[in-house]
Amino acid sequence: MPATESALPPDASSMLALAARSMFHLFSSMSQGMFLVDKAGTIVWVNEGYRRFLPALGFSSIDEFQGHPVEEVIPNTQMRRVLETGEPILVDLLTNKAGTFVVSRIPLREEDGQTIGAIGIVLFDQPETTLKPLIEKFALLQRDLDDARRELASQRSRALLHGDGGSGQRRAKYTFASFIGTSAAALEVKRHARRAAQSSSPVLLLGETGTGKELLAHAIHLASARARGPFVSLNIAAVPDTLLEAEFFGVAPGAYTGADRRGREGKFKLADGGTLFLDEIGDMPAALQAKLLRALQEGEIEPLGSNRLVPFDARVIAATSRDLPALVRQGRFREDLYYRLNVLPLKLPPLRERRGDIPALVEALSEDLAQRSGEVPPELMPDALALLAGQHWRGNIRELRNVLEQLAMRSDSQRVDAAEVRRVLAETGVEAIAAAALPPAPEGQGHAALLRPLATQVAELEGLAIAAAMAETGGNKLAAARLLGISRATLYGRLQGAT
């Protein structure tokens, strides 16, 4: 075939050079703008397209823009990183005072691989509109995922109880059924909580850490008329004081320059139509206490940097592990706010005041842990259970859960005895206290508990007696057998094979 003028160059390296040049021109014309920096990060070239961004960046001409270190003229740019690492950032979102952009950053290398500069490309500006189909698809998938997660969570919470709630999620996941316990104290608190769910006044949950305040807040929300609305939680102790006001009330658009210039919704607004759970309310700084009081009294909030009051519709549930009346006496918590919150106070009993619930809790918590780890929960021997029931449980159910998790992880047999529990207690820093005698049946079942197969009841009683004897003798099997008037062999048999 005769050669024409438009034929490809014959050798590979010229072809590559041509390809590179073509691609450069393609990008230069297809993209919204392009610029080059040298090794020092100084802007050395800007194409025509990029000119449109200059006014928003504060420049009137290309001449004025060139010659500056890149981060001085393009806020938040990552070009320096590309120069330093020699690695491209093929797709990224850049937000600065000029807007939000989809950008690409590519290092320029010499033959020997040395980075001698970098090229910055603005692929799209206003990604909200240019990438709309993609973002919409993403949002749809995200929504599907959220729905699936929620469904899974509610299925689980129906079947079993959950672990620590964490904070920030917008859906409640515990119901009253997740609150395990049939002791008089547990039933009493549940009864009050159900009643609180019917009302729209603020609820104040009091009790030591790990007693289930957060769980109960979820349950109250789900049993209330607002169950379909969001459940938003804010742990006041976990947020720096300086950021709390914005977290509570939000930030008006334009209040700040930079990333927050679009404004941000506060938790009060996010909880609209639902419940706002304010955890560790006792840790609230004084200035904010005044603002919260005003919000609760007026039903209106004032976002930071705005001078407009916006009404909100959120039911407040507050919780604290601190002695709030004492804080009021010391002048560290406003009395008027305390009364405002204390409309429906609920006191959660510490675990040591409802030891009878421990076997049921152990059962439910172990089941939940096993579900999460995908393993069969270990079975606790009666002496192990009795030992757990005797502890002080400063961290209450959270601490019990932690000990059970350690037990499941460390025990290599399916059966866990008191010795093993003692070891884990020591390792986790719980000071072991002698075992407690458990009541023969959960309180509240009374009569029904007696109308079960006698063999089961006898076995249960036997287990408890053995546990008590083992605890009394510090695990000395010979002494325990003597105490119970049985042979050592019988005791061994019971300890190994007993239910």
Ligand X SMILES: Nc1ncnc2c1ncn2[C@@H]1O[C@H](COP(=O)(O)OP(=O)(O)O)[C@@H](O)[C@H]1O
C-alpha angle 85/87/90, rounded to 5°? Answer: 140
Would you say 268 and 308 are in contact if contact means Cβ atoms under 8 Å apart? no
Distance between CA atoms of 467 and 480, rounded to whole angstroms? 9
CB atoms closer than 10 angstroms to residue 440: 13
Q: Which does 312 bind (CB under 5 to 8 A by kind): Mg ion, ligand X, none?
A: none
Q: Which is nearer to ligand X, 309 or 364 (CB)?
A: 364
Q: Which does 130 bind (CB under 5 to 8 A by kind): ligand X, Mg ion, none?
A: none
E-strand spans in 236-355? Answer: 275-279, 300-301, 310-311, 315-320, 344-347
Which residues are near Mg ion by CB under 5 A? 214
Least distance to ligand X, CB of residue 190, Å: 9
Give the CA distances from residue 239 to residues 26, 262, 381, in Å, rounded to whole numbers and listed in that order. Answer: 49, 22, 43
Question: What phi-psi label fits residue 117: left (phi over 0), alpha (psi between -120 and 50 degrees) or beta?
Answer: left
Q: Which is nearer to ligand X, 105 or 401 (CB)?
A: 401
Would you say 166 and 218 are in contact if contact means Cβ atoms under 8 Å apart? no
Least distance to ligand X, CB of residue 178, Å: 6
E-strand spans in 280-360? Answer: 300-301, 310-311, 315-320, 344-347
Q: Which does 181 bind (CB under 5 to 8 A by kind): Mg ion, ligand X, none?
A: ligand X
Least distance to ligand X, CB of residue 155, Å: 17
Least distance to ligand X, CB of residue 92, Å: 38
Least distance to Mg ion, CB of residue 213, Å: 5
Distance between CA atoms of 424 and 427, rounded to whole angstroms? 5
Q: Which does 466 bind (CB under 5 to 8 A by kind): Mg ion, ligand X, none?
A: none
99-109 and 115-125 strand pairing: antiparallel
Q: Which does 356 bind (CB under 5 to 8 A by kind): ligand X, Mg ion, none?
A: none
Q: Which is nearer to ligand X, 115 or 428 (CB)?
A: 428
Distance between CA atoms of 487 and 481, rounded to whole angstroms? 6
Least distance to Mg ion, CB of residue 191, Å: 22
99-109 and 89-96 strand pairing: antiparallel
H-state helical runs in 2-131: 12-30, 54-57, 62-65, 70-73, 79-85, 127-130
Q: Which is nearer to ligand X, 165 or 356 (CB)?
A: 165
Q: Which does 170 bind (CB under 5 to 8 A by kind): ligand X, Mg ion, none?
A: none
Point out the residue whose Cβ comes nearest to ligand X.
212
Q: Which is nearer to ligand X, 249 or 393 (CB)?
A: 393
Least distance to ligand X, CB of residue 215, Å: 4
Q: Which does 397 bind (CB under 5 to 8 A by kind): ligand X, Mg ion, none?
A: ligand X
Q: Which is nearer to Mg ion, 208 or 417 (CB)?
A: 208
Q: Which is nearer to Mg ion, 218 or 340 (CB)?
A: 218
Least distance to ligand X, CB of residue 432, Å: 21
Would you say 499 and 462 are in contact if contact means Cβ atoms under 8 Å apart? no
Name the 3-class secondary structure at 230. Answer: coil
Least distance to ligand X, CB of residue 462, Å: 28
Would you say 347 and 206 are in contact if contact means Cβ atoms under 8 Å apart? yes
Q: Which is nearer to ligand X, 36 or 234 (CB)?
A: 234
Q: Which is nearer to ligand X, 99 or 442 (CB)?
A: 442
Least distance to ligand X, CB of residue 240, Å: 21
Q: Which is nearer to ligand X, 318 or 480 (CB)?
A: 318
Which residues are near ligand X by CB under 6 A? 161-165, 179-181, 207, 209-215, 361, 364, 397-398, 401
Name the 3-class secondary structure at 334. Answer: coil
> Can you state the angle between helices 396-410 and 358-373, rounded to 10 degrees?
50
Burial class (CB in 10 A: 0-12, 13-18, 19+), 110: exposed
Per the DSSP assignment, residues forming a β-bridge with 232 are: 276
Q: Which does 236 bind (CB under 5 to 8 A by kind): Mg ion, ligand X, none?
A: none
